[in-house]
A = this chain, B = another copy of it.
Amino acid sequence: MNRFKITELGNDVFWLRDSEREHLVRVLRLKPGDMVVGFDNKTGMEYTSVIQKIEDSSVTCRILSADQPDVEAHTSVYLVAGLSKGEKMEWVIQKGTELGMEGLTPLRTKRSVMQLEGSKAQDRVVRWQKIASEAAKQSHRVQEPVISKVCDWRDLAEQLPPDTQWLIPYEEELTQRLASVLKSLDPKRPIAILIGPEGGFDPTEVAFAQEKLGAQSVSLGPRILRTETAAVATLTMVLAHFGDLG
């Protein structure tokens, strides 16, 4: 059954507007009588429903049953991804959403080849949010991860909750393994994973993360991983450690 993010919830109905309505009407070409699942991004509720009415600006769906599926991760894990080239950001956002991340912050780093400023940055974030939205639906999540604006290092601290526990996988970290640091993390506090761009982090960036964010640098093991592999693997290992995957 197709899944949609509810625009507005009523008593026995909900409404889909804007891009959700567009998608239903123009792409999927659903009709009154078709069944759909609507999910509420804020409450985690899921409503199995039937399309009642399609109008110019909204679709009305009549709720048949409600559920609160335990599909979201219980640990809040964020990715902070150094801007990387080509489709890598899209892959990480898509796979990160399927795996269960809470959100992703794109980060300008010293070695990022890809530059993003002004309206170009805003447009890209809108596109990335759409990818997160589609991936959330495909994986049957009831919460869509938020893709934040593109940040610089100095904006980072305020981007995430103040009690966030920061991890920075770093190929120059030779002694402290992720596995050992995981044991010291508190699953009730948010966790943020800083992933470098293709060239990795500059040592000054790692120092900044350690001093200003209290980040722990960790090794992911002896093999060198591409940026997008590191993002997906670290997210997987953190979520799996707390029972949210696997």
Contact = CB atoms under 8 A, between A and B. Distances in A.
Given A229-B95, A229-B98, A236-B237, A224 B139 contact: yes
B100 A179 contact: no
Interface stretch (A28-36, A46-54, A215-223): A215-223
Contacts of A240: 179, 236-237, 240
Interface string A218-246: 00111111100100111011001001111
Copies in the complex: 2
Contact of A225 (B139, B178, B233): B139
A69 interface: yes
Nearest to A87: B87
Contact of A178 (B141, B220, B246): B246
Q: Looking at A178, A232, A240, A243, which has the most chain B CB atoms within 10 Å of its CB?
A: A240
A243 to B, nearest CB: 7
Contacts of A225: 98-99, 139
Given A179-B246, A220-B245, A221-B246, A226 B70 contact: no
The 7 closest A-B pairs by CB, nearest first: A178-B246, A139-B223, A71-B222, A236-B236, A237-B246, A221-B245, A233-B236
